[in-house]
Amino acid sequence: MTQEEARTRIQQLSDELHHHNYQYYVLANPEISDYQFDMLMEELMVIEKQFPDLLVPDSPSQRVGGQVTREFKAVSHVYPMLSLGNTYSEDELNDFDARVHKLLGESVEYICELKFDGVSISLNYREGFLYQAVTRGDGIQGDDVTVNVRTIRSIPLKLKGDDFPLSFEVRGEIIMPRKGFAEFNEERVEIGEAPFANPRNATAGSLKMQDSAEVAKRPLDNYVYYLLGEHLPFDSHVKSLIAMKSWGFKVSDHYRLCSSMQDVIRFINEIGKIRHTLPYDIDGVVIKVNSIAQQQALGFTAKSPRWAIAYKYKAEEAKTVLLSIDYQVGRTGAVTPVANLKPVQLAGTVVKRASLHNADIIEKLDVRIGDLVIVEKGGEIIPKITSVDLSKRDLFAEPVIFIKNCPECGTLLTRNEGEAAWYCPNEDYCPPQIKGKLEHFISRKAMNIDSLGEGKVEILFYSGLVKTISDLYALTYNDLFGLEKVIEGKDTKKEKKLSFKQKTAENILNGISSSKTIPFSRVLFALGIRYVGETVAKKLASHFHTMEALSTASFEELLQVEEIGEKIAASLVDYFGNPKHIEIIQRLKDVGIQFEQEEAAILSDKLSGKVFVVSGVFSRFSRDQVKKMIEEHGGKNSSSVSKNTDFVLAGDKMGPEKLKKAEQLGIQILSEDEFVQMLL
């Protein structure tokens, strides 16, 4: 491939990837599969590696991160990032309206927008490309977080169309949607890390991480709401919102033009009723004068614009009495304390329970039975206790002592060093752990048996038909037809009967049968091995290719897999060292579950018959990407150096033992650049 051919192909691939990225992350309307997207991205990265002078900052390949920032450079804002005046009162909104009319002496149109509860960001664009991203900081200067912001896929690296200004700035809010936050926190809890208190904290922590590759894994999103620049061609704020959306930015549809403050208050009340159903947290509504000319006439105070104000919803918290504490056991064995509360109205619902997270949180709060506690309901489904009113404490209230034994099976709890959670180690015989593993196994991201749900799984479990995940594949129509259970509703006076009729039984069996086509990486995730989430499962499947190779891998071999540390490796060795687990895997294999990684598409035979050992850290590709490239060009990967090895592909920090053995056997050692040359 010549330099000019490479330039043309890079442009074609970049345009395609930018388009599909916009369709997926901004419009939520994907046109191709994840696999097809990954193949396009991989081709782009290979060519960029071959022709590094053609790599540009707006390349879609820059989304994956990889750069490490030791220190975030301070940058002065061209336009100060002022804060808005806040109010919780309708009377103060009317006072704001009166001031605006008095200063202008003419009619005013307002635009109302959501006040996102995230982290403010300034995005600078030059000639249609993202140039720099800067945090608010103190309003005068902030931190340059461009490397991390490039990984957020709803922020365009290259703008759509050609009608944008040569240079301009966009203000927006980086957020973590509630669903992504809940899943992210769940993963943290499962690996023994403390959960983030709320999506805003998680977002702020993510933006200041030093490794952009780690930021790329966080479920961050972005909405923009303000355009700044010299000689902008818009006479109203709403027109700038429409323009920003046409250029590829994500703009919320929840905004409204209002001709009076009464219209503004109606919008605030409408949003107040639905804000808990939104996929992200907001803490209010921003009211702005719509006319740009009027904004300029009103100007600014030292701290905030005179033409805008934020109405904030009052903090959603309530005081109530802590009656008792229950301890719930999850599928991983983690024991979570849950507070039983005197019922209290909060955020439109009656709250009876609140999360206490773990023993450390109980100790930090110093919460005691009978205490008057403050409960908050943020983005989490289960409210949480945030503090205790010590002035109301009973003098004889005793500290809460975290339980020592599993509340379900009585097994002595254990706690790993450096982890917050206590665990029940009886993973194969503790009822809630078994039921939790079954529910995880059938879930959408795992085996996707959508004809089953928690209620049906519970019936199968308590009827004795299903005690392990492999039992699902032994079910027959006669087992299912006629099964039933009486389920209590929220009102205990109302009960409903869940029963398996003919169609239900057939759907369940069809769903179970269809799950046999689920690929190996998702099967591995579905097994519910501790610390093995979706990403780790993909890494393991890509590295070992078969369940047989993975299940027999040594601790040292597991550590050779990218991103697999000692904790995950130890968990895998422990899991596969249990004869019961091997028996379950064999039963799943016997019924046709996929325990081999799908073969990579063959792009050429340039490496046909050659055996590679990949070791170390590479500057442009991950180890998994390198291994995939080897297979796509006809080669084979091996985890250990032997006389059958043809090449050792060595990155930085290559394992010294592998290097020593390769030198002893006279095996050729390749650099990353030499490997790329082999593919030309």
pTM of the model: 0.57
Question: Is the confidence at residue 576, as pLDDT, over 90?
Answer: yes
H or E element at residue 663 = helix 656-665
pLDDT for the residue 490: 42
Collect all residues with Cβ–Cβ distance below 8 Å to 527 and sequence separation of at least 6: 441, 469, 575, 585
Question: What is the number of structural domains in the chain?
Answer: 6
Task: Render pLDDT for 629-657 as a digit per residue (tens, 0 to 9).
Answer: 888 888 888 777 888 899 999 887 777 77
The yes-or-no verdict on residue 546 having pLDDT over 80 is: yes
pLDDT tens digits, one per residue of 501-516: 888 889 899 999 999 9
pLDDT (average), residues 559-588: 91
Q: How far apart are CA 82 and CA 80, in angstroms?
A: 6
**Structural domain boundaries, residue 340:** 317-423
Residue 71 lies in a domain: no
Write the CATH number for 633: 3.40.50.10190
Q: What is the pLDDT of residue 303?
A: 81
Based on the fold, state whether residues 274 and 144 are members of the same structural domain: yes
Of 220-229, 236-245, 279-288, 561-570, give the lowest mean pLDDT range: 561-570
Does the pLDDT of residue 378 top 70, yes or no? no
Q: Is residue 108 a part of any domain in this protein?
A: yes
Q: What is the pLDDT of residues 296-341, one digit of tens each?
A: 999 998 788 999 999 998 767 889 999 999 999 988 898 999 999 9
More confident residue, 552 or 197: 552
Q: Do the Cβ atoms of 639 and 657 come closer than 8 Å?
A: no
Query: Residue 601 falls within a domain, yes or no?
Result: no
Would you state the pLDDT for residue 294?
Answer: 96
The pLDDT value given to residue 172: 95
Q: 531, 557, 590 — which closes off a domain?
A: 590
Residue 570 has pLDDT above 80, yes or no: yes
pLDDT at 489: 45
Q: Is 598 within the bounds of a domain?
A: no
Residues 419 and 439 in one domain: no
Catalytic, out of 49, 73, 102, 115? 115
Query: Is 461 part of any domain?
Result: yes
Last residue of a domain, one of 517, 536, 567: 517
**Residue 115 catalytic?**
yes
Q: What is the CATH number of the domain that holds 348?
A: 2.40.50.140
Which pLDDT does position 90 carry in this prediction?
92
The pLDDT value recorded for residue 623 is 75
Is residue 295 domain-shared with residue 379, that is, in the same domain? no
User: Strands, E, within 545-653: which ranges?
Assistant: 611-615, 636-638, 647-650
| 373 three-class SS | strand
Encode pLDDT of 244-302 as tens digits. 999 999 999 999 999 999 999 999 999 998 888 899 989 899 999 999 999 999 999 87
Indicate whether 443 and 393 sit together in one domain. Answer: no
Q: Same domain, yes or no, for 578 and 637?
A: no
- 596 located within any domain: no
Rg of the chain over all Cα atoms, to the nearest angstrom: 29
Q: How confident is the model at residue 493 (pLDDT cuts 50, 70, 90)?
A: very low
Residue 246 maps to which CATH number?
Answer: 3.30.470.30
Mean pLDDT of 179-204: 78
Among the listed ranges 27-41, 100-114, 213-227, 383-397, which one has the minimum average pLDDT value? 27-41
Measured CA to CA, the distance from residue 262 to residue 502 in angstroms comes to: 57
Clarify whether residues 84 and 164 are in a common domain.
yes
Judge if 248 and 154 occupy the same domain.
yes
**pLDDT of 655:** 73
**CA distance linking residue 35 with residue 37, whole number of Å:** 5
Q: What is the mean pLDDT of the chain?
A: 87
Measured distance CA(268)–CA(90) in Å, rounded: 10
| Residue 69 CB coordination number (10 Å) | 18
Task: For residues 524 and 503, state if they share a domain.
Answer: no
Which residue type occupies 319?
K
Structural domain ending residue among the three candidates 502, 517, 532:
517
pLDDT at 491 over 60: no
pLDDT for residue 583: 95
The whole-number average pLDDT for the span 230-249 is 94
| Statement to judge: residues 334 and 401 lie in one domain | yes
- What is d(CA 627, CA 106) in angstroms, rounded to the nearest whole number? 68
Same domain, 28 and 88: no
Name the residue among 116, 132, 131, 213 with its Cα closest to residue 174.
Answer: 116
**Are residue 296 and residue 351 in the same domain, yes or no?**
no
Residue 107 lies in a domain: yes
For residues 324 and 419, state if they share a domain: yes
Q: Is the pLDDT of residue 497 over 60?
A: no
pLDDT tens digit sequence for 43-97: 888 888 888 888 877 788 877 655 656 678 888 999 999 888 889 899 999 999 9
Q: Residue 27's domain is classified under what CATH number? A: 1.10.287.610
Q: Where are the beta strands (DSSP E) in 521-640?
A: 611-615, 636-638
Give 32-93 as a DSSP string.
S-HHHHHHHHHHHHHHHHHSGGG--TT-GGGGG---B-SSPPEEE-SS--PPPPEES-HHHH
Please report whether residue 70 resides in a domain: no
The per-residue pLDDT for 67 is 62
CATH number at residue 469: 1.10.150.20
In angstroms, the Cα distances linking 517 to 89, 378, 550 are: 57, 39, 20
